[in-house]
Each structure stands twice: as C-alpha cells, then as structure tokens.
C-alpha cells in the first residue's frame, strides 16, 4: 500500500508513492483529505518565501568601496552589465544623448564601452538592434532605420558613423574599404614603445592557441626571419593580412604612455596585436592580448597597480583603454568639405591618465587645437 503524503518541501502522490521535486505538484486523485487540501497552501507560502528571498538577493547592494578608483571600477562593471539588460528604448535614448554630429546624410554617435555593435553568441543587446528605435526618436515614428557604416570592437569607445540611407552607408563603407578615411585612436599602454614614433608593418593572422583554454587569437605573421645573422624575406602566409599602424607617443612616464594610433589598414584587433606583440606595449585593460598562451587578467607591475589604486586581484575589471578619438571623412554627396569628427574621452580614460601621471596634450601632433574636445564624458 502506498505511503501517505507527508509535508514539505515536496508533495507525495498517493497512487505511486513517488516524490516530486516541484513544490507545485499535486496528487492526481480528485478527492483529498482536509490535511491534504491544506498542503498546497503550505507549498504556495514556501514558494512565495523563496521568491521574496531571491528578490532580496537581487536588490541587495554591494558594499561601496572606500577607494575612489575601486568604486569607479565597480560602477563601470555595473554600467556595462546594465547596458546588456536595459530595454532597447532605454539604450536608444542613451545613444541619442551622445550624438557628435548630425546632418541629412549622417548621424555620428559616441559609442559607449562594453556595447557590441553586432549580435552574436551571448549578446543580449547591441547597437544594430536599436537603430530603428534611435531613428524614430530623432525623426519620428515613420522614420526608416539607420544603417551601420563601420564597426568598433565591443570594448572600444568613440566615434561611430551611421547613415540615414542605405546608399549613403554603402558609399561611406567604400571610403573605409579604400582607406580614404583618416582614423586616429588614443590608447594608454603598459610600458613605453621604443622608438617613440614609427610604423608597425607586420602582417596579422588568426591562430589557434593550444592549452587548457582552447581559443583563437590574432597574432603576427612576419614577412622576415633571421638566417645566420641576416634578415631574410619570407613568403607571406596565405591566410595572413597586410597590417600597417602608425603610432606616436603623446605623453609618457617610465612605465606607461599615451599613444596616438593611425591604422592604415583595418584588420581585426590590429591595434591591440601590433602594440602587444609588435611593440611589447599592451593596451591597459587588454586581458586578451597581454599574454599569448592564456586568457587571463592582465598582469601589471606593482608601481602601476599602486598608481591606479588597485590590487592585482581586481585587475580583471580594468576596461580596455582604446578610444576612437577622431575620424576625417572626405567630401561626400552634397557636402563639398571634409568632415572632421572628434569625440571626447570617457571618464574612466581621463581618470587613468591622471592617476598614471600622463598629460593630455592641448594640441594634436598635426597642430590642430583640440582643447575644446578633450573633456571627459
């Protein structure tokens, strides 16, 4: 004979004597005793209590660090997490507040940190998802969606160009493809490159990294090798891509530098690979390319950590300090003059500059006065 039903946490089914994991499973018998009838109420109260506890855990606030840098790191982590969770309307509204330039052909926005441009595995929300909403915010409910003209990495901030018409987007994409768009990035690096200005002209290829953490990375594929003390040119590998980056140190200390980068080509992760593997000066916060063999938080010197006010255990929260600072678009359509687009630095970037003792130049190397554009957002 089946055992009688017993109380929490689950319910017993008289007919089978089997216990179910669900708190809401009921006996299939139509007739129940008074004690059995009260059981669903107990389960309901227990379920409500569990829901309340879960909600309290969600809303429970983390302790606020006393260190201002650690507090800022916590704020940045929370902000990037929120970007993936907010309603698309909220994200579109936030992007509308970061407009750099707008005309009848183009809309230029300031891309925030941690926001992917395209969707993909694990991506809950991206810029391309909210372009129709952003267009309606700016031009009304009958507006056609905006179109992407180029892309930036998820961790990169700065100038991003959108187009109102698909044809204009294709024209701008062609300008990027034919290298007619002048691009300038600013980056904070760990260590100082030698020489202080130059060109990195080393092809890049994607390779598989063996080890416990199986993954793929972009890396260098040099066109030369040393043979008996002489440099010999070798044939470029079939899957390698020509990659050229101009760089110049704008400010430096003994252990870090602010660089201006001008990529001549546009290969995936080109700037990060050239700086880390070509110049041995990885970008601050680049946890992917600071070490070839591992995917691990960037290892920083004791002096750098002290300046930043962080411990090595918290280094994984340091964001990538790579900012798309300036784009110069040539004349396009009815616009007869080139369009110079400059984007302010994000707050965390400016604070890191101050902490590391790096100066923000009032003029760029070409003599253009950008003092009015360098404030933090």
Decide if 324 contacts 343 (C-beta within 8 A). Answer: yes
Alpha carbons 344 and 324: distance in angstroms, whole number:
9
262 near 182, Cβ under 8 Å? yes
DSSP code for 134: H
In 3-state terms, what secondary structure has residue 216? strand
Identify the active-site residue in 129, 153, 291, 370: 153
Q: Report DSSP letters for 80-115, one per residue.
A: HHHHHHS-HHHHHHHHHTTEEEE-SSEEEEEEPTT-
The residue ranges of DSSP E strands in 298-360, in sequence order, are 322-329, 339-342
User: Hey, CA dihedral for 114, 117, 123, 126, is it positive or negative?
Assistant: positive
Active-site annotation holds for 153:
yes
CB 344 within 8 A of CB 110: yes
Beta strands in the chain (DSSP E): 99-102, 106-111, 147-148, 157-163, 182-190, 197-201, 204-209, 215-220, 224-227, 230-233, 244-252, 256-263, 322-329, 339-342
Place of tokens 């594929």: 221
Name which of 178, 278, 171, 160 is nearest 218 in CA terms.
278
Q: Per the structure block, which two tokens stand in for 97?
A: 């507040």
Residue 171 near residue 178, CB atoms below 8 Å: no
Q: Where does residue 324 rank: exposed (0-12), middle (13-18), buried (19+ CB within 10 A)?
A: buried
Q: How many CA atoms lie within 13 A of 250 on its CB side?
A: 23
Q: Catalytic residue positions? A: 153
């Amino acid at each position: 004979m089946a055992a009688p039903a017993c109380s929490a946490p689950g319910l017993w089914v008289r007919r089978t004597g089997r216990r179910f994991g669900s708190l809401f499973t009921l006996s299939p018998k139509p007739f129940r005793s008074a004690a059995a009838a009260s059981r669903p109420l107990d389960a309901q109260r227990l379920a409500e209590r569990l829901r309340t506890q879960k909600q309290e855990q969600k809303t429970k606030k983390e302790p606020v660090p006393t260190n201002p840098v650690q507090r800022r790191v916590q704020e940045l982590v929370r902000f990037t997490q929120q970007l993936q969770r907010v309603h698309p309307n909220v994200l579109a509204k936030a992007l509308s507040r970061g407009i750099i330039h707008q005309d009848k052909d183009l809309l230029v926005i300031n891309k925030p940190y941690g926001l992917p441009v395209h969707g993909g595995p694990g991506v809950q929300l991206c810029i391309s998802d909210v372009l129709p909403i952003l267009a309606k915010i700016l031009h009304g409910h009958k507006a056609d969606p905006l179109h992407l003209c180029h892309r930036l990495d998820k961790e990169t901030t700065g100038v991003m160009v959108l187009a109102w018409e698909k044809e204009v987007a294709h024209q701008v994409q062609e300008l990027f493809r034919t290298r007619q768009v002048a691009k300038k990035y600013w980056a904070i690096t760990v260590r100082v490159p030698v020489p202080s200005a130059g060109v990195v002209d080393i092809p890049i290829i994607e390779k598989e990294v063996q080890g416990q953490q199986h993954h793929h990375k972009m890396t260098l594929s040099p066109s030369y090798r040393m043979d008996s003390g002489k440099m010999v040119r070798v044939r470029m590998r079939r899957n390698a891509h020509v990659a050229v980056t101009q760089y110049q140190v704008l400010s430096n200390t003994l252990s870090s530098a602010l660089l201006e980068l001008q990529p001549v080509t546009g290969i995936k992760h080109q700037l990060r690979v050239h700086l880390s593997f070509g110049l041995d000066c990885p970008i601050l916060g680049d946890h992917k390319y600071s070490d070839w063999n591992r995917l691990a938080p960037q290892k920083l010197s004791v002096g750098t950590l002290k300046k930043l006010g962080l411990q090595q255990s918290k280094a994984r929260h340091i964001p990538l300090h790579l900012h798309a600072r300036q784009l110069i678009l040539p004349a396009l359509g009815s616009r007869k003059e080139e369009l110079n687009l400059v984007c302010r630095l994000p707050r965390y970037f400016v604070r890191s500059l101050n902490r590391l003792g790096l100066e923000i130049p009032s003029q760029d190397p070409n003599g253009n006065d950008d003092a009015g554009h360098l404030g933090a957002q």
